[in-house]
Amino acid sequence: MAEAKHDIRNYVAGEWIGSATGKTIPNLNPANTDEVLGLVPLQDRETARRAIAAAKAALPAWRAVPGPRRGAILFAAHRAIGQRAEELARAMTREEGKTLAEARGEVQKSLNVLEFIAGEGRRLRGETLPSEMPNTLAYTVRDPVGVVSIVTPWNFPVAIPVWKLAPALVCGNTVVFKPATLTPWCGEILTECFLEAGIPAGVLNFITGSGGVVGEELISNPDVRAISFTGSNEIGMHLYEVAARTGKKVQCEMGGKNPVVVLADADLELAADAIVQGAFGSTGQRCTATSRVVVEAAVAEKLAALVVERTRRIVVGDGLRAGVTMGPSVDQGQLETVLQGIAIAKQEGAKVLLGGERLMGEEHRRGFFVAPTVLGGITPTMTVAQEELFGPVLAFLAVKDADEALEVANGVRYGLSSSIFTRDVNRVFGFLEKIETGITHVNSPTVGGEAHLPFGGVKATGIGAREQGSTAIDFYSELKTVYIDYTGQVRQTKIY
């Protein structure tokens, strides 16, 4: 039975609205582009300005709501999302393409984040410290930053908005949230859940439209005090520059080129399982996806054979179909990036060990499907060893020893996630000390992160404070330092 179409609405200044410009674009299912899921409003800058103005107007009342009460509303949002978990997961599979099992996992991750962050409403800690002055109480409190723009990518269309919206709201900020144009439906359902939980009008605004129009307003408007962005380096660096002109706080989580280092003494079966999970889970469209295997030459061939054998078992298709373990690329542009990346790798000397082409069989030809691809003979300077493709492509780089492995692992501009497989505890600690990534794993895949632990990257991957965990509130709050002289009389003048 065909599922019903759903046209996306926006929520601006306490009202559900359609396209103010009259312009829309179709929301396509990447597994079958004949299926138009509904229409997406393409709003203009004026509507974005209305959303920002509404957020500004709602700020004084929302920041005055006690933290524990704001936290209670987030717990109610947790319940609302829990009740709609299956609907949300299905919408995600249909508009983003990941398998239903992956979509359900993402919804669960979002619930974990909400559960943790809602509790922050009762903490929002400051510090009390001794003053240098007698009879003086010195402490810090957390104030909200103000109006926050939240600009998100398509690859985690539920988890990323939740891990930004929840800490922004619990700290007393008001928000304008713009999802990726490719995944607005998930954003709309989330917005409904937050509203049902009791978020007042104006505190959360949800707007769709192109990054170059709506996005530009959200990053340049002087009434916006902070921007939390996840997406590509190109847009992130542009946004950082634009935001600096009006002195906004910025948090950018961007690309990755995540390595798994495998030393000769490693459990190769365990490493192969982790590599395949990390490289091809979510079609390689995770910021923490494994895209490089850096392996000691002595075991390189054996490991590649184990990886190829496991990769052959991947079932590519429509993520709603039972038994499918890998979905499509998200759109035509992403498909072309991946295919072009493979073509360049071949020109530069890569050997295709598996896959390497678009799938065009009966189940695949109306979607953006690429075969899971394993490339051998890669050297560190090749394009595929340096640039993020954001697809199901894995590059094997053979090295002579652990020192060279570390050098190659660090020899890229990105620094999000990494992993090492070895049984040698000395090598493990040497790696943990020197690896240049914000997240690292030992004997486990590069992907995955827990809701109560900080998440984020270094080098070209990350700018600003870490997301998730108890550090999430650092970005969304400003510390105010308070000195109270309780003698009530003029005393000696402070000299510094």
Out of 35, 253, 296, 388, the active site residue is 253
Contacts of 378 (CB under 8 A, 6+ apart): 292, 345, 350, 384, 385, 395, 396, 397
With respect to ligand NAP, which residue has the nearer C-beta, 306 or 416? 416
287 is catalytic: yes
Q: What is the DSSP letter of 214?
A: I
With respect to ligand NAP, which residue has the nearer C-beta, 62 or 177? 177
Closest approach, Cβ 252 to ligand NAP, in A, equals: 8
Q: Give me the residues that bind ligand NAP (CB under 6 A), please.
A: 151-156, 178, 180-181, 210-212, 215-216, 219, 230-232, 235, 238-239, 253-256, 287, 388, 390, 416, 457, 461
Closest approach, Cβ 155 to ligand NAP, in A, equals: 5
H-helix or E-strand containing 300? Answer: helix 297-311
Q: Long-range contacts: 456-459, Cβ < 8 Å, 24+?
A: 456/253, 456/416, 457/253, 457/254, 457/256, 457/287, 457/414, 457/415, 457/416, 457/417, 458/415, 459/413, 459/414, 459/415
Single-letter amino acid, residue 399: V
Closest approach, Cβ 189 to ligand NAP, in A, equals: 17
Going by their DSSP bridges, the two strands 15-17 and 10-12 should be labelled as antiparallel
Length of the chain: 496
Q: For residues 266 and 313, what is the distance between their CA atoms, to the nearest angstrom? A: 23
Q: What is the DSSP letter of 121?
A: T
Identify any residues that bridge with 178 across adjacent strands, giving them in sequence order: 151
- DSSP E strands in 66-132: the ranges are 128-130
With respect to ligand NAP, which residue has the nearer C-beta, 265 or 436? 436
Closest approach, Cβ 361 to ligand NAP, in A, equals: 27
Closest approach, Cβ 169 to ligand NAP, in A, equals: 19
Write down the residue that tokens 């652990």 correspond to. 402
Closest approach, Cβ 160 to ligand NAP, in A, equals: 6
Out of 186, 252, 287, 388, the active site residue is 287
Q: Which residue from 13, 427, 8 is spatially nearest to 201, judged by alpha carbons? A: 13
With respect to ligand NAP, which residue has the nearer C-beta, 390 or 421? 390
With respect to ligand NAP, which residue has the nearer C-beta, 351 or 459? 459
253 is catalytic: yes
With respect to ligand NAP, which residue has the nearer C-beta, 77 or 151? 151
Give the torsion through C-alpha atoms of 126, 130, 134, 136, to 10 deg.
10
Largest pairwise CA distance in the chain: 85
Positions annotated as catalytic residues are 253, 287
